[in-house]
C-alpha cells in the first residue's frame, strides 16, 4: 500500500487512483495529509486559473417546489415553508443591479415551480440576453423535459446546474421520494450536455446514510460525466425535514473532497459554496485555499432571502447585494486571490467535449 503522500502525488499526476486508495484518502483523518492535499490542489488550481476567482450572481427565483427531496427545506411536504416567487421584472432588476456591481454571470435558481413555464422562462432569458449580451446565463431549475432545456438554450441560456445528488441508486432512493430517480437525473445531465449547455453536477457531503463507497460512486460518475462545474457542499440539516436530527457534513471531509476533485479535474470550475460558509465562518476561505475558484454571492432581493430556506442557519440572508459583493471580494482578497471581471468559462473544454 502506498503512503498517503504518494497517493496524493499519483492523483495529481494521473488525475485518478484506484478505489482502495481513494477510500484511504477520503477517510484519512490526518492533518499532515490534509496539508499535502491542500497544497497540491492549490498548485493545480493556480496552474489552470492563476489567482482568479469567478463570481456568479445568484438569483433565487422561487421557493415553490413540486418535488419532495427529503433533505431540502423547500420540499413540497414542508407546510411550514414561507413560499415566494419573483416576478420576471424583479428578476431582471436583480440582474441589472448585479451588472452594476460587476457580475458577468447570473444564476437563476429555484424550486421546481410550475409558474415558470417554458414560455415564462424563455421570455426572461431572451430579455436578459438582450439587456446583458456580455453575460453568461446559468439556470438551476431542476428536472425539466428535453424540449424545455432545448427551448431555454435557444432563448440564450448558456449553463445549467443540476447536482446529481447521489450517484448510487441505493442512496439516491433514500434521499428522494419514489417518483424521483437517479436514472432521470442522469438523463437530464446528459441531455443538457448534448444540447450544448456547460453543465454543473455535484452532491452533498455527509448526506444522511452516505458512506465512503457512495462518495466513490459520486467521484466515478463525475469522471464519466466530465461537467464544467462541480458543486459540492456539506449537508446541513433543516429543522422541518425528516433529517432534522441527522448530523451535518463536516468541514474536514468537505475540504478533503474539494482537494480530491481539484486533482481529478484540474480545469473544472469549483465553487466554495454558501453551505461551506454556513458550517464554518472561514469555510469559503478554506475552500478557496483548497482549489476552489468560484463563489456565488446572493443577488436575490433581501426581503425573500430567508424564504429560500434550503437548510438551517444559511448565511448572507440579511445583506444587500452590494454588501454581499463587497464582503466576498474582501474575503477572496484576504486569501491572496483576485476577483475576475469576465464571464469565466471553464478552461480547456473545446467543442469536442460538448458532445
Q: Is 112 in the site for ligand SAH (CB under 6 A)?
A: yes
Query: CA 345: distance to chain centroid?
Result: 15
The answer to whether 142 touches 111, Cβ cutoff 8 Å, is yes
Supply the minimum distance, in Å, between the C-beta of residue 288 and ligand SAH: 19
- Identified binder of ligand SAH from the candidate list 7, 122, 128, 236, rule CB under 6 A: 236
Give the integer Cα–Cα distance in Å for 336 and 284. Answer: 13
Q: Given the complex with ligand SAH, which of 70 and 339 has the nearer CB atom?
A: 70
- Alpha helices, H only, the chain: 4-14, 19-26, 31-49, 88-100, 118-131, 146-155, 169-175, 182-194, 212-225, 251-264, 274-279, 283-289, 302-305, 321-334
Q: Residues, the chain, total?
A: 355
The C-alpha cell of 341 is what?
A: 471581471
Q: Is 136 in the site for ligand SAH (CB under 6 A)?
A: no
Judge residue 336's burial from the number of C-beta atoms within 10 Å of its C-beta, 0-12 exposed, 13-18 middle, 19 or more buried: exposed
The C-alpha cell of 278 is what?
A: 454556513
Site for ligand SAH in 307-326 (CB under 6 A): 310-311
59: which residues sit within 8 A by CB, 6+ positions away? Answer: 86, 91, 94, 95, 98, 106, 107, 108, 109, 299, 300
Supply the minimum distance, in Å, between the C-beta of residue 59 and ligand SAH: 12
Q: Is 64 in the site for ligand SAH (CB under 6 A)?
A: no
> What's the number of CA atoms in the CB half-sphere (13 Å) around residue 52?
15
Q: Is 275 in the site for ligand SAH (CB under 6 A)?
A: yes
Q: Is 251 in the site for ligand SAH (CB under 6 A)?
A: no
Quick note: the x/- pattern for ligand SAH over 171-200, rule CB under 6 A, is ------------------------------
- Identified binder of ligand SAH from the candidate list 54, 99, 235, 337, rule CB under 6 A: 235
Q: Is 142 in the site for ligand SAH (CB under 6 A)?
A: yes
Nearest residue by C-beta to ligand SAH?
142
Q: Is 287 in the site for ligand SAH (CB under 6 A)?
A: no
Q: Given the complex with ligand SAH, which of 11 and 248 has the nearer CB atom?
A: 248
Interacting residue ranges for ligand SAH, rule: CB under 6 A:
71-72, 109, 111-112, 140, 142, 162-163, 165, 204, 233, 235-236, 238, 275, 310-311
Amino acid at each position: 500500500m502506498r503512503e498517503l503522500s504518494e497517493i496524493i502525488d499519483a492523483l495529481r499526476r494521473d488525475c485518478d487512483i484506484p478505489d482502495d486508495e481513494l477510500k484511504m484518502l477520503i477517510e484519512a483523518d490526518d492533518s499532515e495529509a490534509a496539508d499535502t492535499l491542500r497544497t497540491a490542489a492549490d498548485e493545480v488550481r493556480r496552474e489552470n486559473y492563476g489567482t482568479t476567482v469567478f463570481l456568479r450572481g445568484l438569483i433565487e427565483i422561487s421557493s415553490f417546489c413540486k418535488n419532495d427531496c427529503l433533505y431540502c427545506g423547500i420540499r413540497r411536504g414542508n407546510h411550514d415553508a414561507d413560499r415566494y416567487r419573483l416576478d420576471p421584472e424583479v428578476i431582471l432588476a436583480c440582474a441589472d443591479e448585479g451588472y452594476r456591481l460587476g457580475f458577468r454571470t447570473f444564476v437563476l435558481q429555484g424550486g421546481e415551480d410550475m409558474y415558470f413555464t417554458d414560455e415564462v422562462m424563455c421570455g426572461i432569458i431572451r430579455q436578459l440576453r438582450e439587456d446583458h449580451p456580455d453575460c453568461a446565463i446559468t439556470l438551476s431549475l431542476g428536472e425539466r423535459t428535453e424540449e424545455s432545456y432545448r427551448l431555454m438554450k435557444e432563448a440564450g441560456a448558456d449553463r445549467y446546474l443540476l447536482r446529481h445528488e447521489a450517484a448510487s441508486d441505493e442512496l439516491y432512493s433514500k434521499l428522494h421520494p419514489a417518483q424521483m430517480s437517479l436514472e432521470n437525473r442522469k438523463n437530464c445531465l446528459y441531455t443538457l450536455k448534448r444540447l450544448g449547455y456547460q453543465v454543473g453536477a455535484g452532491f452533498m457531503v455527509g448526506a444522511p446514510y452516505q458512506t465512503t463507497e457512495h462518495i466513490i460512486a459520486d467521484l466515478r460518475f463525475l469522471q464519466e460525466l466530465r461537467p464544467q462545474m462541480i458543486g459540492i457542499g456539506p449537508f446541513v440539516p433543516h429543522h422541518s425535514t425528516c433529517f432534522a436530527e441527522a448530523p451535518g457534513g463536516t468541514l474536514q471531509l468537505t475540504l478533503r473532497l474539494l482537494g480530491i476533485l481539484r486533482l481529478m479535474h484540474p480545469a473544472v470550475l469549483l465553487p466554495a459554496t454558501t453551505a461551506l460558509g454556513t458550517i464554518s465562518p472561514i469555510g469559503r476561505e478554506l475552500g478557496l485555499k483548497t482549489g476552489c475558484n468560484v463563489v456565488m454571492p446572493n443577488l436575490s432581493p433581501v426581503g425573500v432571502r430567508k424564504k429560500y430556506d434550503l437548510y438551517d442557519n444559511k448565511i448572507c440572508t440579511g445583506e444587500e447585494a452590494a454588501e454581499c459583493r463587497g464582503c466576498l471580494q474582501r474575503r477572496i482578497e484576504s486569501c491572496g486571490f483576485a476577483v475576475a471581471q469576465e464571464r469565466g468559462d471553464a478552461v480547456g473544454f473545446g467543442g469536442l467535449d460538448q458532445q
